[in-house]
Structure 1
Amino acid sequence: MSGAVTRFRFMAYVVGVGLLLLVVAMLVKYVGDSAGMMRVVGPVHGFLYAVYLVLTVDLALKARWSIKGTALVLLAGTIPFVSFIAERRVVASLHAGKAL
Structure 2
Amino acid sequence: MSTRPLDEVQARTSFARFRVASIVEGIALLILVVIMILRYLVFPDGPGHETWSTVSERWSPIHGLIYMIYVVLGFDLWTKMRWKLPRMLLLMLFGVVPVLSFFGERWTHGQVERDLASRPTLQDEERGEREHPHA
The structure with the larger Rg is 2
Distance 2:72 2:115 in 1: 22
Find the residue that maps to 1:80 and give its secondary structure. coil
Segments of 5+ residues of structure 1 without an aligned counterpart are none
Query: 1:16 is matched with which residue: 21, 26, 32?
Result: 26
- Segments of structure 2 that go 5 or more residues without pairing to the other structure are 1-10, 44-48, 119-135
Aligned with residue 86 of structure 1, among 97, 104, 107: 104
Aligned mates of 2:12, 2:112 — CA distance in 1: 10
TM alignment of 1:58-73, pairs within 5 A: 58-73=76-91
1:6-60 CA distance string (max 9 Å, x none): 1000000000000000001111211212312212221110000000000000100
Is the Cα contact below 8 Å between 1:49 and 1:77 reproduced in 2? Answer: yes
Name the SS of the counterpart of 1:97 in structure 2: helix
Say whether residues 1:25 and 2:43 are aligned partners: no
Bigger RCO (CA 8 Å, 6+ sep): 2
- Separation in 2 of the partners of 1:3 and 1:19? 24
Question: Quick check: 1:28–1:35 contact (8 Å CA) kept in 2?
Answer: no
Q: What is the aligned length?
A: 99
One-letter code aligned to 1:46: G
Residue 45 of structure 1: aligned partner: 63
Rounded to whole Å, the distance in 1 between the matches of 2:104 and 2:82 is 17
Structure 1: distance between partners of 2:61 and 2:21: 16
After superposition, the CA RMSD in angstroms is 1.5
Identity rate, percent: 32
In the aligned structure 2, how far is the partner of 1:25 from the partner of 1:37? 7
- Runs (4 or more) in structure 1 with deviation over 2 Å come to none
Do the aligned residues in 2 keep the contact of 1:28 with 1:37 (CA within 8 Å)?
Answer: no
